[in-house]
Amino acid sequence: MPLDLNLETPDLWLALPQFIVFGLAIALLFGDAFVARTRHFVWLTGLSLVGYLAALVALVGQANENATTFYGLFRADGLTVFLSVIILSAAVLTVMVSASYVERLEGRMPIGEFYVLLAFSVLGAMLVAAAGDLVMVFVGIELSSLATYVLAAFAKRRLTSVEGALKYFLLGIFASAILAYGMAWVYGVTGSTDLDAIARSLAASVGGDEFLDPALLLGLLLLTVGLGFKMAAVPFHFWTPDAYDGAPTPVTAFMSVVPKAAAFAATVRIFVQALGPLRDEWVTLLSVLALLTMAFGNIVAISQRNVKRMLAYSSIAHTGYMLVGLAAYQATGGTGFGAGAGDGDQGVSSLLYYILAYNFMNIGAFAVVTWLQHRGRGLTLDDFGGLATTHPLAAAAMAVFMVSLMGVPPLIGFYAKYYVILAAIDADLLWLAVAVVVLSAVSAFYYLRLVAVMYFNEPEGQPRQADTRLLDVGIAGMVIATIALGLFSTPIIDLADKWESALTVAGQVAGR
Amino acid sequence: MPVETQTLGENWLVVGLMLVSAFSMGMLLLTLNKIMAPSKPSAAKAAPYESGMPDIEPVRPSYSPRFYVVAMLFVIFDIEAIFIFPWAVIFDELGTYGFVEMVSFIGLLFVGYIYAWKKGALEWV
């Protein structure tokens, strides 16, 4: 029997930013193998920065696009663009933060391999953001995770690094298995792995209170568990403190943003785009998870004396705030925060803005920790004592990041929480909005304690001198972003509102 | 075929029942085993089976990870062969597009091969 193969050539230009990052990874691989070791630091750092910035520029070509290629596997829409901006800017910042750390601290780690793994992890996260198919989501998450596991173990001579990475690896692959199992159930019920086709199939069967397969709910539950592990939501967070504490500090900065962004990208793609008709089911699940995550992260962070562990628990708490944004998804469609606020669907827009804000302030906080490690200080709270007298600028930067993580106007963290709370109130989730406010007040304790230690304690020991120009520029950039992007949040939230183009197919069929 | 009508709450009940019954069944069997099975451990029972050898050295010796590198390289080329077989069978139907796809796939593996070679993964010391 002759096969009927209708193979059209995919539109390669549509995926240009992703191809640039892929080319960058290959170029770094060759650079690592063929460039002399003494030139690695300058050449490969420069190549990475140029590559990520070129990909950011190429994203302009995807703006206002709403197209799919590679037989539905790849989607270029508002969601792809916004998440790719976040992921690529996190990549640029990570390169700036990590270059001198990898080269000089912890016994001179191989910088070429570091950049190669970083590029593959970034590529995986970007592919999740652009996925139009369950299989693509899974492959992207795996590509991103596998590279991150190795990065977490990069300081291989330090046992805590290996220990944290092993826990991360074991729980991560366990979560991947659960995720794949959940996808299998969804595929079994709907008969397709294409996100839009799943939405169409569900919209036809779910309308009203008709028969709904319990197998589908089991799939939903498994997907929630798998994605919960990846985004470090309570009660699936157990790997987080050890992995974040053990990994080299710049890797921790990266791990706390990009895999989390990838996990939320997968959640939006799967839950909102494909399982949108099941909204009532998963919104309940996610709002409970959000409350647990916020409460646990904030309360446990109070008792931490190690700043990296404190930031790990704080990042768990921030996962909770992001989940509030997702739980506020209403499936009503509409304009989001744009024209005529109050009647649109604001949940996902607020989530996207929150990840962007979190990107700058969290990598910033870890960058200052890295900066201090270069100057011979440790990671405990006492090591930050008197920072304001010895290094006033670093102390000021850290204070900005802490206050922003806490959510004080006019910094970016305040606007992020503001939009999330607005979306939650609009979705009649008043109790969650109240929880965000109350738990932010709890978080003030440990964020402000660090600021107080820096400004009111006496410095101990003589600081070491170090030349970290790229890191200095990165921290300065993040301080400016933390202040400016909050003040000028309107264009950003308008850009975030464009995520809705991802819903075109599902929206038309479901009649929403 | 009459379609059963259930509310969403009842569906969650089914999932919950399944989880509870699976959990309690597992716990029940393990607990029964613990309570009812006779347990009389002795040194002879803990020894290896009569045809096995007693340990003469620690069971976790150190070995060269180089072995793994070669094994991994083997797997990569094994996978390549697995992909090339079905492609070769329907080569005519796939046409130019299929040819380009396979060339880029092999090209990527070749990049990895060059990297492994340059990094000394193929050197036996």
pLDDT interval class at B11 (50, 70, 90): confident
Mean pLDDT, all residues of chain A: 88
Instruction: Give the pLDDT score at A210.
Output: 54
Q: Which residues of chain A neighbour B98 with C-beta distances below 8 Å? A: 7
- Measured between CA atoms, how close is B56 to chain A, in angstroms? 30
- Measured between CA atoms, how close is B100 to chain A, in angstroms? 10
Q: Is the pLDDT of residue A4 over 60?
A: no
Instruction: Give the pLDDT score at A1.
Output: 45
Contacts for A477 with CB less than 8 Å, ≥ 6 apart: A93, A96
Answer yes or no: is A98 within a domain.
yes
Query: B94: nearest CA in chain A?
Result: A5
Mean predicted confidence (pLDDT) in A15-35: 93
Containing H/E element for A445?
A: helix A430-456
Query: Does B120 touch chain A if contact means CB atoms closer than 8 Å?
Result: no
A47-51, A86-90, A210-214, A322-326: least confident range: A210-214
pLDDT in tens, A394-421: 999 999 999 999 998 889 999 999 999 9
Of B5, B6, B8, nearest to A280 by CB-CB distance is B8
Answer yes or no: is A1 within a domain.
no
Query: A208: nearest CA in chain B?
Result: B7
Answer yes or no: is A295 within a domain.
yes
Of A7, A29, A280, nearest to B97 by CB-CB distance is A7
Mean predicted confidence (pLDDT) in A346-368: 93
Q: How far is CA A57 from the centre of its chain?
A: 20
Containing H/E element for A204?
A: helix A195-206
Residue in the structure block whose two tokens are 């799939």: A219
Instruction: Give the pLDDT score at B2.
Output: 47
Range of the domain at A62: 12-504
A35-44, A428-437, B19-28, B54-63: least confident range: B54-63
> C-alpha angle with apex A253: A251 to A258, nearest 5 degrees?
90
- Measured between CA atoms, how close is A221 to chain B, in angstroms? 9
Count Cα neighbours of B74 within 13 Å in the Cβ-side half-sphere: 6
Q: Which residues of chain B neighbour A211 with C-beta distances below 8 Å? A: 3-6
The values of phi and psi at residue A76, to 5°, are: -115, 110
Say how many domains are in chain A. Answer: 1
Q: Is the pLDDT of residue A506 over 50?
A: no
Pairing of strands A67-69, A74-76: antiparallel
Longest dimension (CA), chain B: 72
pLDDT interval class at B7 (50, 70, 90): low
Cβ proximity of A184 and A161 under 8 Å: no
Query: A32: nearest CA in chain B?
Result: B115
pLDDT in tens, A73-106: 998 888 999 999 999 999 999 999 999 999 888 8
Q: Is the pLDDT of residue B80 over 70?
A: yes
A474-488, B46-60, B107-121: least confident range: B46-60
Of A3, A212, A280, nearest to B93 by CB-CB distance is A3
pLDDT in tens, A51-82: 999 999 999 888 877 888 888 899 888 899 99
Q: Tell me what percent of the residues of chain A surpass a pLDDT of 70.
A: 93
Instruction: Give the pLDDT score at B96.
Output: 85
Of B6, B12, B119, nearest to A211 by CB-CB distance is B6
Taking an 8 Å cut-off on Cβ atoms, the answer to whether B115 and A33 are in contact is yes
Mean predicted confidence (pLDDT) in A13-30: 93
- Separation CA A386–CA A365 (nearest Å): 17
Helix or strand or coil: residue A461? coil
- DSSP assignment of B62-85 equals ---THHHHHHHHHHHHHHHHHHHH
Mean predicted confidence (pLDDT) in A321-333: 86
pLDDT interval class at A204 (50, 70, 90): confident
A116-130, A336-350, A400-414, A485-499: least confident range: A336-350
Answer yes or no: is A3 within a domain.
no
Chain B segment 63-92 residues within 8 A of A by beta carbon are: 90
Answer yes or no: is A509 within a domain.
no
